[in-house]
Structure 1
Amino acid sequence: MELHWLDYLAFFSYFALLSLIGYLAGRQKNVVAADYFLAGKSLPWYVVGSSYIAANISTEHFLGMIGAAVLYGIVVATPEWSTIIAFTFLIWLFIPFLLTSKVYTTPEFLERRFNSKMRFIFALITLFANVTAFMAPVIYGGGLIVEEALGFNELFGLNEVAIKAGAQTDWGLFFSIFLIAITAGLWAIWGGLKSVAWMDVLTILIMVVGGLVVTILGLIELGAGDGIFSGFAKMVEANKGELGWASDWISQNVTNILNGSESGDYYNRMSVLQPINHDTTPWTHWVFSFFYLGLWYTAINQHMIQKVFAAKDMYNARMGMVFASFLKLLLPFIVVVPGLIFFAMKPDFLFSGSWDLMSEEANKTYILMIGNLVPVFLVGFLLAALFGAIQSTVSSVLNSTSTIFTIDFYKEYINPKVSEKQEIRVGRMAGTVILLICIVLAIVLTFAKINIFVYVQEMYTFIGPPFSAIFLAGMLWKRINGRDAVIAVVAGLALSIIIKFLVFFPLADSTSAFASFIKPFANQGLIVWGFTSAVVLIMGAITPPADEKNVGEGLVFNFRKINLGGGLGKKWYNSVLLWWGLGFAMMIAFMLIFSVFV
C-alpha cells in the first residue's frame, strides 16, 4: 500500500488527538487506587458503552472476522448479534448484583463467594487469557497492518527479491509489532483506566465511521455504476452460490466448513443459523453461547466488566451497556459485510486450492479493500480506525491485567500493607512487563499460519466455560462451597485439555459423527460447560453447605433485596427499558432476516 502525504497527515493527526485526550484524562494525580484502576468511578454511560465496545473490537474483527466472513459467510456475525442476549442478563441481573458487592476485580469477588483458592485460580487464568487470547493476537494483527501500510517489509529488506533469495526472518513485522505495542500501551500504563476510557470515545467514533465507509465504497464498486442497492444484490447473489464460480467454490470447500461433509453438500453462506457440525459457529451458539461463553466474557472477564465497575452509578452502568448493545448490532455491517463483498469480488486467493493459504490470505482482506477502493486522505483515516481498534483493546486489557496482578497477587500475597500510591506504581511496572511478554508471544505467532478470528475464538471457548458454570451455579445456589467450585473448575479445565488433545491428534482426520460434533470449538465449549455444571451441582448436593460469610448480601442472588428496578432513567426518552427493548427487537429481526428471508 502506497500512502499519500495526506494519508500520513490523517493518520498522525488522529494519533496526536488521541494522545492529547489520553494526557488530559490521566494528568490528574492518581493518589487513590480507584482513580487509576477504576477511573474514580466517574464514567458516564456513553463512555462506559464506548469503552466496553472499543475494548472488544480489535484486529480479531478488522482482520480475522472480515477474513472469516470471506470464507464462512454471514454466520460469523452471530457472536456479535447473540451478545445482546448476554448484555440483557448483564443489564437486568448482574450489574445491580456486582455493583452491590463493591469490588475492584472479579477474582476478588470470587474469593468472597467461594475461597482464596478460587480467587488465585481465576486470577492466574485471567492473566494467561489476557496475554494469549487478547493482547498477543491483537498486537500480532496490528503488526501486520503497520508493516503492510507503512512499508516496513521493504524498509527492512523482506521484499519480493529477498523472499525469492530465501529470506525467512520478517524484521519489518517484528519492528511493527514492537511499535504497535509500545504506542498502544503507553497511555494505559501512564494514565490508567480514565485515559483508556476517554480515548475510547474517539476510537469508537473513528472505527464506526471509517468502517462504514469501506462497506459503502465496496457496495458501490460491486454495483459497477448502478448504485449501492445493485451492489448489495450482487453480494447476496454471489454469497448464496447463485453464480457459477461461487457455487463451484462452495461445493469444493464445504468439507472445510462443515465437519464430516462431502464435496457438493449444500451450504448457505447467507444464513446465521448453521448445522451443528459447522466448523466455527453452529446453531448451538445462538441457544447456549451465553451460558458457556457470554457469561464469562461479559460479566466476569475483568478487562470488560471493569468499565461497568467504573460507571458513575447504576443508571450510567446500565445505559452504558444498552448503548454497547446498539454498537454490537452495528458491528457486522463494519466487520462482516466487507468480507461478503470481497468474496463477491472473486479474489484470486480463493482459487489457490489450499484452505490454509486461503485462511492466511483472507486476513489481509480489509487492507486490500482499503488500498483498492479508498481515495487519498481517507486511507489514512481508515488506517487510524484500524490503529484505534488495536490501541483500545491493548490499552484496556493491559490496564485490567495490571489491576489483577496488583490487587490479586501483589497486594494479596506479597505486600498486604501496600499503600495506594505503591499500588499505582506496582500497576505501572506490571503493565510494562506484561506488555513486553505480549510482544514476545506476538512474534511467536508470526511463525504460525492462523486465522486470527478462529484462534481467538478457540482460546475463548477453552478458557471461559468452566468459570461461567461455577459463577452461575454459585450465584443461584447457596449450598455450593469453595471446595465444590475449585474441584469443578479444575475438572472442567482438564476436560478442555483432553478435548483439544482428541481433536488435534486421534480425531484430526476422522469424519465420524462424534468427530464432526466435537471438532467445532463452540460445541467443545458447550460440552465443558455442561460437564462443569454437573460436577459443581453434584458436589453441592453431597458436601456441606457454604459458610454464611460466603453467601451474604451481594454474594448470592436474592431477588427480594436486589435492586433490579433501580437506575432505569426518569424520562421516557432516557428509559433503560425502552432502549434495551428496541435493541433486543432489532437482534431478533436481524436473526430472522439472515436465516429465513435472505
Structure 2
Amino acid sequence: MDSASVPFAALDYIIFGVYLFIIIGLGLWVSREKEGRQKDSSDYFLASKSLPFWAIGSSLIASNISAEQFIGMSGSGFRVGLAIASYEWMAAVTLLVIAYFFLPIYLEKEIFTMPQFLEQRYDGRVRMLLAIFWLLVYVFVNLTSVLYMGGLSMNIIMGLPLWGSIAGLALFATAYSLYGGLKAVAWTDVVQVVVLVGGGLLTTWVALDAYGGSSTGPVGGLTQLMGDASNRFNMILFEGELMYQNDEGVTQDAYQLLPGLSVLFGGLWVANLFYWGCNQYIIQRALAAKNLQEAKRGLAFAAYLKLLLPLIVVVPGIVAFALDAPIQRGDEAYPWLLGQYVGTGFRGLAFAALVAAIVSSLASMMNSASTIFTMDLYRNYVEEEVSESKLVRIGRIVALACIVVATLVAPQLADLDQVFQYIQEYTGFVSPGVLAIFVMGLFWSKATPNAALVSAVLSIPLSAAFKFLTPEIAFLNRMLIVFFVSVALIVGISYVENRGETHPKAIDLDDVEHDSDPIFQVAAFGILGITAALYVIFW
C-alpha cells in the first residue's frame, strides 16, 4: 500500500456505499417510462427537452468538474498556485457570453448536436469531419484522462490497484447512465453537485484548519497560508516570476502554462469559448432546456458555482505545497491531503464528492459521444430511415464501447506530470480551428463550407507546427495565433469563392430571439462584478 494511503474505517465505507446506492437508484428511477411507452431519441439524448435552470446549471458543473479539476487542477495549484484558477473564473464570464450570443441561435435551430448545426450552416462534409474529431477527443483525451485521475486518487487514498480503480469507476458510471441517457445523467447531477461542492468544501475547511492550527481555525489558516505561500497567490504570472520543478526535477517557468495577461485577453478565451460554446457534452444540457429563458438562467447559475470552485480544487493543492507534501507527482496533492487530514466519516463524504465529480463527467461524456455517433454518423451515413427505438439502442451500444476503449487506454497516462495541462494543450490542437468555424458561421454571413473545411483540416497541423517550431511560445498564445490564422483562412477563402456575397445558409441574426430576462441580467452583472473584484484582490 502507498505510504500516503489511509485505510477507510467502517463508517467511511458505509457513507460511501450509501452514496453509490442513492445515485444508481435515482438514475434508474428517473429513467423509467410510462407503461407501453418507449424512449425516443429526444428522451435519451435531450432528456425530453424538459430541464429547468437549476438542473441545467447543476448538470453543467457536475459534468465539468471531475478528477480533471479535483486531481489535475489541485496538482497545478501545488506547482503554480492560484493562477490556475483563471480557468474557473474566466469560465464564469465565458458562460455569460455563450448564454447571450450562442444559445439563442442553437435553440432556434432545434439541434441535437454541434455537428448537426455545422451541417445546417455549412454542409455535410464539415459535419462528418467535426463529428469524428469530437469522438476521438472524447474517447482518447477526455474519458481516458478522467478515468486515469480518478483511478489515481483511489490508488493513493485507498491503496487500491490503479487498473481496478479505473475499471470500477467506469462500471459505476455505466450502471446508472447507460439505460436512462441524458435524463438519468442530468437529474443525478443535481445530487452529484451537492455532494461534490459540499464534500469539496469540507476537505478545504479541514485542510486549512489543520494548517492554521485549532486556535485560528480555517480562516486563520487561509490568512497564514497567503502569507507563507504568497508567491502562490498571484493570478497573473509574468516571465521568470515563478519557477517550479516538474515531476522529473526539471525547473520550468510557470509563464509557459499561464502566460501573463493572455489569461485575461488572449488564448484562454479560445479554450473557454470552445469548451463552453462548441463542446457537445457541455452545451447538450442547454439544448435540453424547457426554453431559452431557463437555458440562460442555467448558465448563469453554473457561472456562480464556477466562481466558488477554486476554493475547492486549487486551494487544497496550495496547502499541500505549503505543508511540503512528500509526493512525487503534482497530481498526488489532493489525494494525499484527503488521506492525511480528513478524519473518519468525513473521509467517506469527501471521497464521495471526488467520485461524484468523476462519474458525472464520465456519464456525460459517454452520452455525448453516443449522441454524436448516433445522430451525426449512423443516422446520416449508415441507416437514414432508422426507427427511434433503434437509435436509442445504437446510442447505448456506442456509449458502452467508448467507456471500454477509454478504460483500456487510461492506465497509459501514468507517466504524465500535470494531466490537467495535458488535457488543455492537446485539446488545444483542435479548438482554435473549430472555434473559428463556429464564430464565423454564427456571426459572419459570408463564410463558405470549403473555408470551414480547410480550417477544420488545418487546425491540428497548424497547432502541431507552432508547438514544434516555436516551443518558446506558451501554448495559450499558440492557440490564439492559430485561431486568428484560421479566421484569416476562412475570410480569404470565402471571399475568393463567394466574391463577398452572403452565403445561402447564413444565419439571419435579426430573426434570432434574445429574450430580455431581467433575472439573467442582474445575475450577469453580479458575476462580472465578483470576477473583477477577485482579479483586483489577487493581481
TM > 0.5 fold call:
yes
How far 1:291 sits from its partner (Å)? 4.5
Question: SS of the counterpart of 2:324?
Answer: coil
2:478 maps to 524
Specify the SS of the correspondent of 2:256.
coil
**d(CA) in 1 for partners of 2:231 and 2:455?**
46
| 1:173–1:431 distance in 2 versus 1, CA, 3 Å | same
Q: Quick one: which of 402, 412, 423 aligns to 2:380?
A: 412
Cα distance in 1 for partners of 2:267, 2:479 equals 8
Q: Does 1:426 align with 2:426?
A: no
1:551-590 counterparts in 2 under 5 A? 551=506, 556=507, 558=509, 560-566=510-516, 568=517, 575-590=519-534
The DSSP-based 3-state class of the residue aligned with 1:528 is helix
Greater alpha carbon shift after TM alignment, 485-494 vs 279-288 = 279-288
CA spacing shift, 1:241–1:289, aligned 2, 3 Å: closer
Matching of residues 16-415 of structure 1 within 5 Å: 16-28=21-33, 29-152=37-160, 172-224=161-213, 225-241=215-231, 254=243, 277-289=255-267, 291-349=269-327, 357=328, 360=329, 362-415=330-383
8 Å contact kept, 2:80–2:244: no
Q: CA deviation at 1:515?
A: 4.1
SS, match of residue 513 in structure 2: coil
From 429, 453, 467, the counterpart of 2:420: 453
Distance in 2 separating the partners of 1:233 and 1:331: 19
Paired with 1:309 and 1:83, the residues of 2 have a C-alpha distance of: 19
Once the two structures are overlaid, the 10-residue window that deviates more, 176-185 or 297-306, is 176-185
Cα drift, residue 66 of structure 1: 0.4
The answer for the alignment partner of 1:484 in structure 2 is 451
SS at structure 2 position matched to 1:82: helix
Counterparts of 1:88 and 1:49, CA distance in 2: 12
The equivalent residue for 2:18 is: 13
Report how far residue 150 of structure 1 moved: 3.4
The alpha-carbon deviation at position 440 of structure 1 amounts to 1.2
Helix, strand or coil at the partner of 1:436: helix
Contact 1:41 1:311 in 2 (8 A): yes
- CA 1:479–1:3 in 2, change beyond 3 Å: closer, same or farther? same
Q: How far does residue 548 in structure 1 lie from its aligned partner after superposition?
A: 5.4
Shift of 1:30: 4.1
CA distance in 1, matches of 2:502, 2:513: 24
- Offset of 1:253 from its aligned partner? 7.2
Deviations 1:549-597 (A, max 9, x none): 412xxxx251x3221235x26xxxxx111112111211111111110xx
Identity percentage over the alignment?
31
Amino acid at match of 2:167: F
Cα–Cα, structure 1 residues 280 and 481, in superposed 2: closer, same or farther, change >3 Å?
Answer: same
For the structure 1 residues 486 and 252, does the alpha-carbon distance in structure 2 shift closer, same or farther, using more than 3 Å as the test?
Answer: closer
- Retained in 2: the 8 A contact 1:184–1:391? yes
Is the 1:284–1:522 Cα contact (8 Å) retained in structure 2? yes
Contact 1:218 1:373 in 2 (8 A): yes
Tell me, yes or no, if the aligned pair for 2:76 and 2:317 is still in contact at 8 Å. Answer: yes
Q: Distance in 2 between matches of 1:527 and 1:215?
A: 38
Question: Which consecutive residues of structure 1, in runs of 5 or more, have no partner in the other structure?
Answer: 153-171, 243-249, 268-273, 350-356, 503-513, 570-574
Deviation at 1:429, TM superposition (A): 0.7
Q: Does the CA-based 8 Å contact 1:469-1:533 persist in structure 2? A: yes
Report if the CA contact (8 A) 2:45-2:181 is conserved: yes
Distance 2:350 2:394 in 1: 36
Letter in 1 for 2:210: E
Report how far residue 81 of structure 1 moved. Answer: 0.3
1:440-498 Cα shifts (integer Å, max 9, x gaps): 1102223x233121111112212211110121112222111101111122222220122
Gap change, CA 1:294 and 1:220, over 3 Å in 2: same
Shift in alpha-carbon separation, 1:110–1:221, aligned structure 2, 3 A: same
Name the TM-score, length of structure 1 as normaliser.
Answer: 0.83
Cα offsets for 1:370-424 (capped at 9, x unmatched) = 1221121110111111110111000000000000000111101000011100000
**Aligned position for 1:162:** none
Tell whether 2:524 aligns with 1:550: no
| Unmatched tracts of structure 2, length 5 or more | 1-5, 233-238
Is the 8 Å Cα contact of residues 72 and 420 (structure 2) preserved in structure 1?
A: yes
Structure 1 distance, partners of 2:26, 2:244, is: 49
Q: Which of structure 1's runs of 4+ aligned residues deviate more than 6 A?
A: 250-253
Could you tell which deviates more after superposition, 109-118 or 532-541?
Answer: 532-541
Could you tell me which residue of structure 2 aligns to residue 354 of structure 1? none
- Give the Cα–Cα distance (whole angstroms) in 1 for the partners of residues 531 and 210 of structure 2: 28
Distance 1:557 1:403, change over 3 A: same
Give the C-alpha shift of residue 179 in structure 1: 1.2
CA-CA distance at 1:144 after TM superposition: 1.4
> Structure 1 residues 227, 487: closer, same or farther in 2, change over 3 A?
same
Q: Deviations over 1:77-114 (max 9, x none)?
A: 00100012211211111111110011110100001101
Amino acid at match of 1:82: M
2:409 is the alignment partner of 1:435: no
Give the secondary-structure state (helix, strand or coil) at the position aligned to 2:511: coil
Question: Which residue in the other structure is 1:511 paired with?
Answer: none
- On the 8 A contact 1:189/1:432 being kept in 2, the answer is yes
SS in 2 for 1:331: helix
> CA–CA distance in 2 between the matches of 1:376 and 1:281?
41
How far the C-alpha of 1:537 sits from its partner, in A, is 1.2
1:166 corresponds to: none
The match for 1:155 is none
Taking structure 1 as reference, are residues 31 and 220 closer, same or farther at Cα in structure 2, changes over 3 Å only? closer
Q: Structure 1: how far apart are the matches of 2:297 and 2:319?
A: 34
Q: Do the aligned partners of 1:291 and 1:468 also contact (CA within 8 Å) in 2?
A: no
Instruction: Tell me: CA distance 1:395–1:255, structure 2 relative to 1, closer, same or farther (3 Å).
Output: closer
- In terms of Rg, which structure is larger? 1
- Paired residues, what number? 520
Q: State the shift of 1:435 in Å.
A: 1.0
Q: Which residue of 2 aligns with 1:161?
A: none
TM-score with structure 2 setting the length: 0.92
- Conserved? CA contact 1:481–1:547, under 8 Å: no
Deviation at 1:289, TM superposition (A): 4.0
Q: Secondary structure of 2:344's partner?
A: coil
Structure 2 equivalent of residue 160 of structure 1: none
Which stretch shifts more, 65-74 or 538-547?
538-547
- Supply the distance in 2 between the matched residues of 1:177 and 1:456 (Cα, whole angstroms): 18
Contact 1:83–1:290 (Cα < 8 Å) also in 2 = no
What is the distance in 2 between the residues matched to 1:495 and 1:88?
30
